[in-house]
Every structure is written in structure tokens, then in C-alpha cells.
Structure 1
Amino acid sequence: MKSESLKFIQTGRKKRQLRFRLVTVSLAVLAILLCGAMLMLGNTIYPVGVVLRALSGEQISGASFAVSTIRLPRMLAGLFAGFAFGLGGTVFQTMLRNPLANPNVIGITSGSSAAAVFFIVILHTSGAIVSAVSVAAGLVTVLIIYLLSRGKSFSIGRLILVGIGIQAMLDAMISYLLLIGAEQDLPAAFRWLSGSLNGSKMDQLPPLFISVLILTPVVLMLSKQLNILELGEQAATSLGVRTDMTRVLLILSSVIMISIATAMTGPIAFVAFLSGPIAKRLIGAGFSSVIPGGLVGVNLVLAADLIGQFAFTVRYPAGIITGILGAPYLIYLLIRMNRKGEL
């Protein structure tokens, strides 16, 4: 009887493991195809061979500039920012055991956005200064939210409520700044707020590359503790997890990546919100959804940018497309949670 039960468990685990690997590989392959499409498509469509020659450094009239100077930075910005948004959102939702607990909803990206808009429309700055300030503001915002929700003990519900309140305040601040801002500064502010890969430059991207490459292994090393945190505070503590330390490391890693990605591309709406649930639905239970969540984020950003560029007569930023996808899901999620009594 025991051997049959053990065999049944092992068979189930192998099936789940196979599903996890197939989904992860499929998401990675789709991301590679979308990256290729980003390099090939534009006002002029270049075949794969021409793209590869241009990337290798060969000088091809028209193609070298279009591929290496315009399309490659745009693709890399979407690749790394999408991964940062997807991974960070998945970490927040898993750690706090609530799909609403993501940087878009609890005010972290609003903190970065408010600071960036202030520096654009009031101080008339741009470029690296705006990026640095938006990163710092994202970190300060999450620190304030965490401290206000801490109380005598950590509370997920309190964190979400505090975050939603701070987000409302910051969104009101953004609206006020746009209202009083000089007319010539508003296009830059609106372009930043919409979340776009337009204007991505290679020399601006190293902070994004470095943050993702350094902090992703940190999150992966804590993925086991992250899955245990999903069981609840008491269960995690009884299993030997240092909950406060683990939570702080996960939050800092995720927020730094998301803040830097936001500084590079603006707040691309709902990518952090959608990636985790989609990844979990695809891979099923039993395995960490951190890497699949990051890959879903990549695919959402790249696909949204391609759709925004080529599916309509007018070109739209990626954030507009992801916002159209994310808003109905948020409404559906709120209705479902309300019916279950989770709100």
C-alpha cells in the first residue's frame, strides 16, 4: 500500500515537473521569437540574415542604423524591463498571498512616477536625473508603506490598504503637477507616464541590465523561503524561516528592479499585476513561478509594443496596450474576491 502511494506521488510530481519545464521553455522560446520580431519589423522589414549581419557589426546601408541603434535598444529595454516587472510582481503576490499585492496597486510605481513628473514639469530636468530620482522615490515609497503597515506585527491586509491609500494620494499629486505644469513639459511627462519603449538608448540601459542580472539570483536563492512564506506567517516561522529578514530582502530586490525598470521605460501598466497569475495558471502547483512570471512579463511587454506599433493606424505605447488588457482583469479579480469574502 505504501509503495503504491509513493509511486502515485512520484508519478504526479514527475508530471508537474514536466509541465513546469515545458511551460518555461515555451515561454522562453516565445520571448526569443518576439525579440527577433522586434529587430526585424519596422518601417522597413529586414530578413533574419540582414539582422544578424547588422548585429555582427557589418555596415549595411540603412539596416545597420535601424537595427543596432533603434531596434536593438528598444528590444533590450522591453526584454529586461518586462522580466523585472514580471518577476517583481510575482514575488510580491506570492510573498503576500494576495493578487492585489503588487507594485501597480499598492503605490510603488506611483511613487516613482510622482517623483519623475515633479522633476520633469517643475524642475524641467530629464534623462539620468529623472531616472535616478524615480528609483530613489520607489524605494522611499515602499519603505513608508512597510513601516506604516508594520504595527505590532506584519499584516498583509494593512499593507495593501496603506499602499492603496498612498497610491491614491500620489496619483492625485501627479494630476495636480500635470495641471500646473508648463505646456512645453507636458508631452514629456505624458510620454513617461504612458509606459513606452520609445527613445530607448543603449547607454541608458546598463543600470537595468546590472540590477536584473545581480538581483534575479538573489530572488532565486530565496525562492524556497518565498514558497514557505505563502503558507502564512506562523507556518513559515515554525519551519525556521526568518520571515522579517527574508521579506525585507525579497522586497528590496523586487523594488530595486521594478524602480529601475520604471525609470527606463515608465510605468508599463499591469505587467507586474498580470504576470504572476498567468504564470501560476500555466505551470500549476508545486513549483516556483518566479522565472515563469518574469518570462510572462517579457512576452507581455514585447507583444504589447509590437501590437501598439503595427496593429493600428496610430502607434500606441506599450503601456496603453497592457492597460487595456489589465483593467478588465482587475475588475474581474475584485468581483471574484468580493464574492469569496476576501475583500
Structure 2
Amino acid sequence: MSGVGTVEVGDLRSPRQRSRTGPRGRRRARTGTVCLALALTAVAAAVFALGSGDYHIAATDVIKALTGGGDAGDRLVVRELRLPRVATALAAGAALALAGAISQSMVRNPLGSPDMLGFTQGASTGALVVVVVAGGGSAALAGGAVVGGAAAGILIFALARHGGMHGNRLVMVGIGVTAILTGVNSYLLTKAQLTDAARAMLWLTGSLDGRGWNDAAPVLVGLALATPAAALGLSRSLRMLELGDDAAHALGVRTAGTRILALTCTVLLSALAAAAAGPVAFVALTAPQLARRLTRAPGPNLLPSALLGSALLVVSDWLAQHAVPGRQVPAGVVTGLFGGCYLIWLLAVGQDRRRT
């Protein structure tokens, strides 16, 4: 009828229905899709790595061997010889990436990874002290790495807390401690016997050669302890902390307690990963940033980072074994090359954006 105005009807959907189709719901859906894709990638990379080598095994036979079926020879190669190494790569990659995601979100800086904050260098110092001074074996080396990483974390915390544990201060203190520990490590290498120095250098580069279940077990236990603590006690707080200390405090976040818990998880995960696989470079730095670019979601992106770290280290270890015919190179060489190229790409992209 003419003369009768139209009445606009509001959105009759419930808040839950609107959240599912709004920007937040789309981010969650994208994050879930990315996590599923990364999990499948990590599993596929692990199956491919388990079947690769001088004794090639098809992917279907690898799955049969993992589930207890198939040929007895395949089960021996897959479950006894190759699975411990691949499991160590999966666990160490997830631990490094998770530690990097927590620390980068905590300090609000993409360079705030355990590599830059000094935790990894502390683990290296502890391992070198055990090898050079005490002449310890592999088990003692892993224990020294954990103790060294924890000691570095305590030192950085003690130095940073006097001026307020802000992100930039933690980064600057970590860089200073890293420089000091790098000098200490170089001195320890000059004092080591030739065989001990060669063994230490292989470990310092980051290698998964000869890894067994005794190497993977501590990292798996650390992930089992730190992952729930990070997911339940840190995920929301770190997301609020990225807004700044004042905003996070206004939203009810206990900033000091959050940073202490975040530092504890970071030190534990990075030290255990270094004990298992050596101080593998750039996984903790690049995996969280790549995960955030994939999900396009704010916050630490803990689960996507961990899954991407697992896939990244498994693929890097496979490339390290097969890239050079006739010999193996440490996995840390591959991750270092990849991480260096990634940083150069970031720098180039940043310069292009500033010009435009």
C-alpha cells in the first residue's frame, strides 16, 4: 500500500549464530582448516620419511607396519630403526615452535624467539660444559643442555625484572646474554679434545642422527606438561598482552604472572628440544610467523605453530639425509638456510611496502 513506510527488521539470529558467520567465526574456521591441513602435512611427511632410505618402503606398507601388520622386515625398519628419529623430529619441532610462539607473543616482537633470547645458547653452554669439562656421554649432554637452558632463563629473568619485564627489555637482555654465552661456547670449543670438539660441533649444528626413544621421551613429556599449561593459562592472556601492558591489565590480565609462566614454558620446551636434537636454528623463529600468516588470526596461534614446527623439522631432516648424495648433513643446516632465506624475504617485503 502506498504511504506506508517500510520497517527494517534487525538480525534475528542468536549471538552464537552471528559469531559463527561473523569475522570471528570465519577466523576460527580458517584456523581450524589450517590446523587440519598442517596436521595432515606433518603425518604425511612422517610417513614419507619412514619409508625413505636405502630400504624403500611404500606408504601403505609403512602404515601397516605402524599398526602392527605387514612384513616383519618392514616392521623392524619402520618401528625400531626409523620411528624414533622421526618421533624426535616431530616432538622437537613442535616444542621449538611452541616455545617461539609463546616468547614472540610475550615480548610482542617477531624476533623474540628462544634463539634470540639466549635460552638456546644457554642449553648449548650446558652441553659443552658436560662434554668438555666432564667428558660426559649423550645422556649427560642432554642433561647439561636442560640445566644450561634453565640457568640461562633464570639469569635473563633476574636481569630483566629489575627494570620491569617489558618486551623490549627482555629482548635486549636476551641478546646481551646470547652474545656472552656465544663467547663462552667458543672458548670451550678451543679447550676441547679433537674428538669431543667434533662431537660437540655436530650437536651444536642440530642433528637427529642416531636418535632413539630415550631422546624423544623427555620432549614428549615436556610437551604433555607445557601444552595444556600454555593452552589453558596463556593463550587468552598472551592475546591480551599483545595489546600492551596497560590494556591487558585493564582487561584483567596479570601481566607479571603471565610472563613468568610464559618464560617457564619457553625455557622448558626449548631446553628439552635442544637436548633431543641440538639447538636447531630458526624453527622457533619462523614457524610461529608462518603459522600466523596462514591463519591470519591474532594471538599466539599455539596449535598451528606447533604443527607447522613438527612438519618443518621432519621435512628438513629428510632433506638433510637426501639432499647431498652419499652423505648426510645436520638438519640444522637445512633449517638455517630456510630461516635465513625467510628473513631476507621479510626484509625485502618490508622495504617494498615502505616504498609504496
Q: CA RMSD in A?
A: 2.6
Contact residue 79 and residue 298 of structure 1 kept, 8 A: yes
Q: TM-score, normalised by structure 1?
A: 0.92
- Identify the match of residue 324 of structure 1 among 325, 332, 337: 337
Match of 1:310 among 317, 322, 330: 322
Residue pairs, 1:1-343, within 5 angstroms: 3=10, 10-57=21-68, 60=71, 62-221=73-232, 222-286=234-298, 288-313=300-325, 314-331=327-344
Q: AA paired with 2:332?
A: G
How many angstroms apart in 2 are the aligned matches of 1:167 and 1:8? Answer: 45
Q: Given residue 22 of structure 1, which amino acid in structure 2 is its aligned partner?
A: T
Describe the shift of the 1:330–1:165 C-alpha distance in structure 2 as closer, same or farther (beyond 3 A).
Answer: farther
**8 Å contact 2:65–2:71 — kept in the other structure?**
yes
**Cα pair distance change 1:94/1:237, threshold 3 Å:** same
CA distance in 1, matches of 2:149, 2:352: 33
Distance 2:70 2:23 in 1: 54
Instruction: Deviation per CA, 1:208-262: give whole Å up to 9, x if none.
Output: 1111012101100021111111111111111111111111112111211111111
Following superposition, the deviation at residue 69 of structure 1 comes to: 2.0
User: Displacement of 1:319 after TM fit?
Assistant: 0.6
Distance in 2, Cα, partners of 1:19 & 1:216: 21
**Matches of 2:137 and 2:60, distance apart in 1:** 37
The structure with the largest alpha-carbon Rg is: 2
Deviates more, 1:218-227 or 1:330-339: 330-339
Question: Is the CA contact 1:40–1:46 (under 8 Å) kept in the aligned structure 2?
Answer: yes
Which amino acid in structure 2 is aligned with residue 91 of structure 1? Answer: I
Deviations 1:51-106 (A, max 9, x none): 24433456946433321222100010011111000111011101110011110012
Whole-angstrom distance in 1 between the partners of 2:238 and 2:300: 9
| Code of the aligned partner of 1:108 | F
Structure 1 residues 136 and 2, CA gap change in structure 2 (3 angstroms): farther
Identity %: 34
> Which blocks of at least 5 consecutive residues in structure 1 are unaligned?
none
CA distance in 1, matches of 2:303, 2:332: 22
* Structure-1 residue corresponding to 2:5: none
Question: Unmatched 5+ residue regions in structure 2?
Answer: 1-7
Q: Using the TM superposition, give the Cα deviation of residue 9 of structure 1 relative to its aligned residue in structure 2, in angstroms.
A: 9.6
TM-superposed deviation, 1:176 = 1.4
Q: Which amino acid in structure 2 is aligned with residue 112 of structure 1?
A: A
DSSP 3-state at the match of 2:114: coil
| Range with bigger deviation, 136-145 or 41-50 | 41-50
Distance 1:198 1:258, change over 3 A: same
Q: Contact 1:271 / 1:322 at 8 angstroms: preserved in 2?
A: yes
- Does the CA contact (< 8 Å) of 2:321 and 2:329 recur in 1? yes
For 2:158 and 2:50, locate their aligned partners in 1 and report how far apart those are by CA, in whole Å. 44
Distance 1:9 1:57, change over 3 A: closer
Contact kept? 1:55, 1:68, Cα under 8 Å: yes
